[in-house]
Structures are given as C-alpha cells and as structure tokens.
Amino acid sequence: MKKLLICFFCVLFTILIQAQEEKTLTMPRLRLGIEAGVNSLFSQINKPEMIRESRYYYYDHDYDFHCGFVYDYPNSAFYNFGLKLDYMLHKRIAMSIGLRFSFYKATLASDRDYFLWKVSETETSSNYIKINNISQTNYYLGIPLETRFFLTEKDYIVRTYFIIGTSFNFLVATDNKVAFHNPEMEKYNSNVLKHIGNPNSFYCSFYGGFGLKFGKANYPFGNVEFFFPVLNFEKDNIDAFIRSDVLGFGIRTTLHIPVIRKHILTYSVTD
Amino acid sequence: MRKICLFFFIIILLASCTREELDRTIFIPDEDDRNLPAYTEWGYNTFGAEYERDYFLASDKIVPCKILFKDNQLQFSLSGTIRDHKEMTLSFIFSSPQMEDFKDLLQLHNKEIDLTANDCIVKILRDGNETILHVFEGKLHFKRVQLLSIEDQVNRVILSGIFDLTFMQNDFPAFIYKGRFDLGITTKLFYVY
C-alpha cells in the first residue's frame, strides 16, 4: 500500500513538473478588424406642437384605446460597422483604432394609419393634414479607440477579455422623411420638415464590457463583445427631433485578420 | 364568463376606434386642476367646469355639444356628466344674427355673451327636469372660432371659449365657474329650425 502511494505521488509530481514547462507563443501583432454591431439607447422623440393629440386622459388614468396615439418612444438602435487596426501591445493587452460608420433612425407614427398635423392657421381658420409617419435618419462617422485586457496569457481557442473604449462621432448626413396619407399633400413637405429639429453634429461615447475571442491568434478569428454601460454624451439640444438618454447597452462582432506577419509578438507562458 | 367579458370589452374597444378621430373626446388635463380639461383650441370635443364642489365634464359616451338656431336665437347646449356619472345638459340661449349652416358660427368669433341680459336664457336639464336659471352674474366668451379644414377641405367649425355663472338655485346662490370648451361642430350637430 505504501509503495502504491509513493508511486502515485511520483506520477503526480512528474505530471506537475511537465505542466509547468514553459512554452513560447508567437502571433502577429497587427490585425485588421471588420466589425458590425448595435447599441441601444433609450430615447424620446420631441413631439412637434403641430400634432393633434389623440390620447384620452382622464383623472390621471390613461385610457389609451389605441385610437391614434402618436408614440414618442422610438426604437433607438444605433447600428454600426467599421474597420479597425488591432495591435497586440503585450501578451494580455491589445489596442485598436479605426473608422466606424453608425446610423440610427427614429420614426414618429400613430398606432392607427395616420395622425393629424396642423399645417397652417389664421385667427379664424386651421388646416390639418394626415401624416402616416415622420422619420429622421442620422449618419455618423466615428473614430473608436479601444483597449482589451485578456484574462489568460495562453492563446486558447476561446479567450475571454475585458474591453473599454471611446468613440468620437461626427454627423455626416441627416435624412428627414414625411410619409403623407394623401400623396397630394406632398406640397406641404417643406412646411412639415421645417418643424423637425436637427440632430447634434457630434457625440462622444464611452463604453465598457467583455468579449469572447473564438479562434487562434495566428489565423483569422472572430469575437463577440457585449457592452454595458454605453454612455453617450452630446450637447443637450432641446430642439433635436430625437433626444437620447445617456445610458445604453450594445453588442458587436468582429472578424480579425492578421496582417504584416513579420511583425511578431513573442512571449512565454507556463503550460 | 371571463371570455364573454373579454368579448364585450373588445367590441367596445373596436367601437371606440371606429369613430372618426375628430369626433372623439380628447381629455388633456389642466395643469392647475387635473380634473378639468385644459383650455385648448384644437377641437378636442371636450368641456369642463366646476359646479359648486363637483365637476361638470364632457364624456366620450355623450355628444358634448349641439347647436340649434331658431327665431334669431342660438341655443348652445353642453351635455356631459356630473357626480355619479349622471347626465346633465347646460344650455345657453341668446340672440344671434341669421345662421344657415355651421360655417356661419364664425360670427361668434371673439364674441362675449352677457348671461344676465334680458334676451339670454340659461337652462339646466338634469334627471329629466329642466330648470331655467336665474343668473345674476355670468358670461360666455367664444374666444376663438375657426373653420377647420382637413387636407384643404372644410370639415367643421371649432368653438373654443370660457364661461362662468352665478345663479339662484332653491333660493340659494350657486355657481358654475372655470368653464372652458373646445368643440368641433359639423353639419350633424348644427340645426336650423
């Protein structure tokens, strides 16, 4: 029995000695990333005063019978895609910079076919038109800066990391559209659009989260990143058509392709 | 039983939805007194007033206003509910220039009616009993009367205004005050005799 125990500990010791062998890892430092993602921020539409209310309020209770209420809480998803260069600074740390194109669309619509819009008035007359919806799409070009911190040194097939980043986003275009219930009323298009507030020309976002890398660093690999919180900061433009909250969340996926393979990161890990 | 209730609820809901949007009563609460509708000029088919310590309010179930022109007199009637959802109609009858259709209501724009004048009658219809009020102070002011067009087609006249009155009731003074109305009047709500 004693011999058996000694034998068992010898085998275990040998395994432990073998497990602590150092291995040298090499991987290209520079990678090109192609990314696509979505951030969701709670936002509200500035409902223009020209809209005739349809909601029925009574004694502080909301009897909304879905008879024409104009929703001012839009689906506010910021879709984004871009290109970035990812550089392995260290066995655990990578940094990236790139160009990110993002856009979001908000639509003001009724829960029925249309809502009424006061298009003109004098002291003794008013003219309403029927509008199916009004939408605004804003396109931004941003510069993201990100840092990833890997939890493990070894390049496992699935590797977990934390990420923090910021991006500076500049408005490149905005597109306002009015869908009229009666096409003949398109003559009032400019009249309606002049009441739609312009978006902010710049916003900055800070975000943190975690990611999962799938694949070996020497080959093209993909990752999925989850962000919370996403903090957006912009000048509080009270006239803007869409007003977003500061806080949100997001998800993004990236395909990384190693480039300039001569530029190698070499480091040792204990296996 | 629950299914039957649900069925009736859906029927009521659909019935309320099929009514033309401009005919519905929209209640936007007054910021100072949320029991009363705010003074608006959008044709929300609503009215409200304090009646002593109660509220006289438009209801989505009752046509809030009907206007009758007869013998150079205009009867402007507000129908709604008071305590315990009992129906009540308050009518103002006053002399008026000739009117032939609802568009002629524009003559009321910015017109103030003295409810104590001899040619003016104010009546309350409640529980089937009509009472002519002895008004000793009061006015009805049509602050804004506008012709409403929908997509360039004349649709209705919007009457927006305020009213207040103090009157004798059972030998005691009573009052209706903070009255405000915002009503859309179409052909079917304007009658000429």
Cα–Cα separations (whole angstroms), residue A32 to A113, A218, A222, B2: 47, 13, 11, 61
Chain mean position to CA A2 = 63
CB contact under 8 A, A65 and B44: no
Cα–Cα separations (whole angstroms), residue B189 to A215, A237, B102: 75, 45, 8
CB contact under 8 A, B150 and A184: no
On chain B, the residues whose CB falls within 8 A of the CB of A58 are 27
State the pairing for strand pair B134-150/A264-270: unpaired
Q: Is B62 part of the contact surface with chain A (CB cutoff 8 Å)? A: no
Rama region for B71: left / alpha / beta (φ>0; ψ in -120 to 50; rest): left
The pLDDT value recorded for residue B156 is: 96
Selecting from B44, B109, B152 the residue whose C-beta is nearest the C-beta of A124 gives B109
On chain A, the residues whose CB falls within 8 A of the CB of B27 are 56-58
**What is the rounded CA–CA span in Å between residue B57 and residue B81?**
6
Hey, which residues does A236 pair with through a beta bridge?
none
Q: Which ipTM was obtained for this model?
A: 0.82
Q: State what percent of residues in chain A have pLDDT above 70.
A: 85
Cα–Cα separations (whole angstroms), residue A109 to A42, A69, A181, B35: 17, 8, 12, 29
More confident residue, B104 or B60: B104
Q: Determine the 3-state secondary structure of A188 from DSSP.
A: helix
Q: Mean of the pLDDT values across residues A16-38?
A: 82
- The pair of structure tokens assigned to B137 is 């102070």
Name residue B26's amino acid: I
CB contact under 8 A, B17 and A66: yes
Question: What is the band of B19 on the pLDDT scale with cuts at 50, 70, 90?
Answer: low
Question: What is the band of B7 on the pLDDT scale with cuts at 50, 70, 90?
Answer: very low
Hey, which residues does B148 pair with through a beta bridge?
A126, B156
Question: What is the band of B5 on the pLDDT scale with cuts at 50, 70, 90?
Answer: very low
**Residues 6 or more apart whose Cβ sits within 8 Å of residue A224:** A211, A212, A214, A251, A252, A253
The pLDDT value recorded for residue A1 is: 59
The pLDDT value recorded for residue B192 is: 93
The whole model's pTM is what? 0.80
Residue of B105, B89, B64, B124 lying closest to B192 (CA atoms): B105
**What is the rounded CA–CA span in Å between residue A113 and residue A118?**
17
Beta strands, E only, A10-124: 22-28, 30-45, 57-58, 61-62, 70-71, 77-88, 93-110, 115-122
On chain A, the residues whose CB falls within 8 A of the CB of B44 are 53
Cα–Cα separations (whole angstroms), residue A227 to A84, A152, A161, A205, A215: 18, 20, 12, 12, 21
**CB contact residues (below 8 A), chain B span 92-151, against chain A:** 106, 109, 144-151
pLDDT tens for A169-214 read 999 999 999 999 999 999 999 999 999 988 989 999 999 999 999 9
- The pair of structure tokens assigned to B5 is 């209730």
On chain B, the residues whose CB falls within 8 A of the CB of A112 are 17, 21
CB atoms within 10 A of CB A9: 10
Residue of B174, B42, B186 lying closest to A54 (CA atoms): B42
